[in-house]
Amino acid sequence: MNTTKKERIAIVTGGSRGIGRAISKRLASDGQTVVIAYANNAIEADKTVESIIEEGGNAIAVKADISDEAAVSKLFDITEKDFGGVDIVVNSAGIMELNTIVNFNLDKLDRIIHTNIRGTFVVDQQAARRVRSGGAIINISTSVKKLALPTYAAYAASKGAVDAISLILAKELRGKDITVNAVAPGPTATELFFEGKNAETIDHLAKMNPIERLGAPEDIAEVVSFLAGPARWINGQTIYVNGGMI
């Protein structure tokens, strides 16, 4: 498959569901060709691709474990072969396990570190090598770092590392005209968010911000779209997208 030089190509990891799906669809609606990287759920990835194509966009799905250097390198290889290059990389893939520090299963902690920290590092490493001048690298963080909610220590710690990686990479790419930022959503209405929460908890979290509602995946996608396109003077930042809750 070929594209013209004017077209921009985006890789979105974790792009088959939730916030990642909204980001994939928004970038496609902006006119970017989107390569959706998914870990296991080919059905959901294909649904997202089909939805984008039905709406007039261009997308493909590629299976890739973001913590596997060879798999991520192959993901970029496929993108470059099919579309000629990479302009945008959005690292939305990640996992979350919740429990108090005193009771946290350390095997689960290792899994979070492997996916959220190593995975971000591996994807960003390939992006730093391959994203074309004028491009953008965007990592998905979380607002829970500042909220300091009980049971979120492992997840928040992993996303703190994402912020650090983003800031340092932005400085390391000096002179290449590539921006690197992190986007930190607040509570967002996805299947992952609703899982294991009762109505009272959901209502409480929704009202923590002055707008008094949960974020929609499209709210997060809007900011990613801005950073991926016109926002060339925002670099090395973590942008909190949470309705003003912190």
CATH number of the domain at 41, please.
Answer: 3.40.50.720
Q: Amino acid letter at 181?
A: N
Give the active site residue among 38, 152, 155, 240: 155
141 within domain boundaries: yes
169 within domain boundaries: yes
Please check the confidence at residue 80 and state whether its pLDDT lies above 70: yes
How many degrees, rounded to 5, is the angle at CA 75 between CA 69 and CA 78?
Answer: 140
- Give Cα 130 distance to the centre of its chain: 18
198 within domain boundaries: no
pLDDT value, residue 150? 94
- For residue 15, the enclosing domain spans 9-187+217-241
% residues pLDDT > 90 (the chain): 93
4 within domain boundaries: no
17 within domain boundaries: yes
Nearest one of 3, 10, 14, 42 to 29, comparing CA atoms: 10
Q: Provide the number of structural domains found in the chain.
A: 1
**71/38 Cα distance (integer angstroms):** 11
Contact predicate 8/86, CB 8 Å? no
pLDDT value, residue 6? 61
203 within domain boundaries: no
The two beta strands, 238-241 and 179-185, are: parallel
What number is the average pLDDT over the span 200-217? 95
What number is the average pLDDT over the span 53-75? 98
pLDDT value, residue 5? 45
Whether 155 sits among the annotated catalytic residues: the reply is yes
170 within domain boundaries: yes
**188/194 Cα distance (integer angstroms):** 9
Candidate from 25-34, 103-112, 192-201 with smallest mean pLDDT: 192-201
Q: pTM to 2 decimals?
A: 0.95
Residue appearing with tokens 């990686």: 165
84 within domain boundaries: yes
